């Protein structure tokens, strides 16, 4: 099996070495040194440049080195008809879930207020609710959304998710589709966005959504910057409709120094750190995918191009 590897990450060589050590039977070629591109079977990529797929006439699979495929789906380099598989890393999902849990705790225990009070040396206690009285809504009930929902629920929060498709009732209620979005939002004191970025979800954290939340809600976005309508967010914060926001992702990144988000007293900015791929578990997953592919077994987590994730 010939695999062309490409990432713009600074530790690309470290990934490559780990892949080679884990699967000596697979030939990993570091793009652009792939020899004859017509002999490449699989492209293992993150944000590939336009010319990467040129001449790869035998290409049968693109394995992406990340959970989100929005950048690839939008790019002009996408090879037609070749299946695309995304990365599912349980360790990264867990880290993302911890980010959501931290946001919920920060809001409902009012640590954001205590941080502001510390600046002003104010000693003042505030009442806070218990987790079962704090309803958390997770937008997305996929690998990451469900991991976050389970972690929040195990910490006592009253959790529900929102997904695209209806599913059988389980321990976590899942609202589905646009029709059930208003009811889902109306119960979400804390709203966590863990959706993929698609034509349908772009700008979902906007005016209409904020207005449908209970007054004084808190918004956490760890999905993609383009999910947020920033002027609408600032407006909702300043009007008191939202009490706070914790944001990990921005469009574009890095967030510009002059962005009002940096200085807004109700906003916590983190530099896209909610969930970073974990080398060992990601390599294990990728090698398993490649071995499945090599032996003719079904590869997991294939992207449905029409729905965009």
- Residues annotated as catalytic are 224, 272
Among 7-15, 29-37, 237-245, 272-280, the segment contacting ligand NAP (CB under 6 A):
272-280
Closest separation in Å from C-beta 253 to ligand NAP? 10
Distances (CA, A) of 82 to 165, 299, 302: 25, 13, 11
Candidates 254, 309, 257; CA nearest to 68 is 309
How is residue 176 annotated by DSSP?
Answer: E
**141 lines the binding site for ligand NAP (CB under 6 A):** yes
C-alpha span between 76 and 71 (Å, rounded): 10
Per CB under 6 A, contacts with ligand NAP among 229-258 are: 248-249
Residue 3 near residue 28 (C-beta atoms within 8 A): yes
**272 lines the binding site for ligand NAP (CB under 6 A):** yes
List, in sequence order, every residue forming a beta bridge with 247; answer none if it has no partner. Answer: 221, 269
Closest separation in Å from C-beta 267 to ligand NAP? 16
**137 lines the binding site for ligand NAP (CB under 6 A):** no
Per CB under 6 A, contacts with ligand NAP among 203-222 are: 222
Q: Which of 65, 101, 152, 163 binds ligand NAP (CB under 6 A)?
A: 163
Q: How many CA atoms lie within 13 A of 300 on its CB side?
A: 12
Angle at which helix 90-108 crosses helix 143-154, to 10 degrees, equals: 50
C-alpha span between 229 and 210 (Å, rounded): 10
**184 lines the binding site for ligand NAP (CB under 6 A):** no
Closest separation in Å from C-beta 99 to ligand NAP? 8
Per CB under 6 A, contacts with ligand NAP among 13-32 are: none
Q: How many CA atoms lie within 13 A of 208 on its CB side?
A: 6
- Judge residue 3's burial from the number of C-beta atoms within 10 Å of its C-beta, 0-12 exposed, 13-18 middle, 19 or more buried: buried
C-alpha span between 300 and 292 (Å, rounded): 9
Q: Which is nearer to ligand NAP, 52 or 204 (CB)?
A: 204
Residue 272 dihedral angles phi and psi, to the nearest 5°:
50, 60
- Nearest residue by C-beta to ligand NAP? 142
Closest separation in Å from C-beta 184 to ligand NAP? 10
Q: Which is nearer to ligand NAP, 109 or 272 (CB)?
A: 272
**268 lines the binding site for ligand NAP (CB under 6 A):** no
C-alpha span between 53 and 62 (Å, rounded): 10
Token pair of 176 as six digits: 């589905």
Token pair of 155 as six digits: 């910490």
**103 lines the binding site for ligand NAP (CB under 6 A):** no
Among 124-132, 136-144, 233-241, 279-287, the segment contacting ligand NAP (CB under 6 A):
136-144
Q: Which of 103, 142, 152, 213 binds ligand NAP (CB under 6 A)?
A: 142
Q: Which of 27, 98, 200, 235 binds ligand NAP (CB under 6 A)?
A: 200
Q: Which is nearer to ligand NAP, 59 or 191 (CB)?
A: 191
**195 lines the binding site for ligand NAP (CB under 6 A):** yes
Neighbours of 47 (CB within 10 A): 16
Among 116-124, 130-138, 141-149, 281-289, the segment contacting ligand NAP (CB under 6 A):
141-149
Token pair of 136 as six digits: 């958390």
Binding site for ligand NAP (CB under 6 A): 67-68, 92, 96, 140-145, 162-165, 194-198, 200-201, 222-224, 248-249, 272, 274-275, 309
């Amino acid at each position: 099996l010939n695999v062309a590897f490409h990432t713009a990450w600074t530790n690309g060589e470290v990934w490559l070495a780990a892949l080679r050590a884990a699967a000596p039977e697979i030939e990993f070629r570091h793009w652009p040194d792939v020899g004859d591109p017509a002999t490449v079977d699989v492209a293992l990529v993150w944000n590939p440049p336009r010319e990467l797929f040129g001449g790869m006439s035998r290409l049968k699979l693109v394995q992406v080195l990340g959970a989100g495929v929005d950048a690839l789906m939008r790019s002009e380099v996408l090879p037609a008809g070749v299946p695309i598989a995304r990365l599912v890393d349980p360790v990264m999902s867990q880290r993302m879930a911890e980010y959501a849990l931290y946001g919920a705790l920060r809001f409902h225990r009012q640590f954001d207020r205590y941080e502001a009070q510390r600046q002003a040396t104010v000693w003042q206690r505030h009442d806070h609710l218990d987790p079962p009285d704090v309803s958390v809504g997770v937008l997305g009930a996929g690998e990451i959304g469900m991991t976050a929902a389970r972690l929040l629920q195990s910490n006592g929060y009253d959790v529900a998710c929102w997904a695209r498709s209806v599913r059988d009732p389980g321990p976590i209620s899942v609202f589905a589709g646009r029709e059930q979005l208003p009811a889902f939002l109306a119960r979400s004191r804390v709203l966590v966005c863990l959706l993929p970025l698609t034509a349908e979800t772009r700008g979902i954290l906007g005016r209409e959504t904020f207005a449908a939340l209970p007054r004084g809600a808190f918004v956490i976005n760890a999905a993609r910057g383009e999910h947020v309508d920033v002027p609408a967010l600032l407006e909702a914060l300043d009007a008191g409709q939202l009490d706070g926001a914790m944001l990990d992702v921005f469009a574009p990144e890095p967030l510009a120094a002059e962005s009002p988000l940096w200085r807004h007293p109700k906003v916590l900015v983190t530099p896209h750190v909610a969930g970073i791929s974990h080398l060992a578990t990601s390599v294990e997953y990728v090698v398993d995918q490649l071995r499945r592919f090599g032996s003719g077994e079904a590869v997991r987590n294939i992207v449905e191009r029409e729905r965009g994730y």
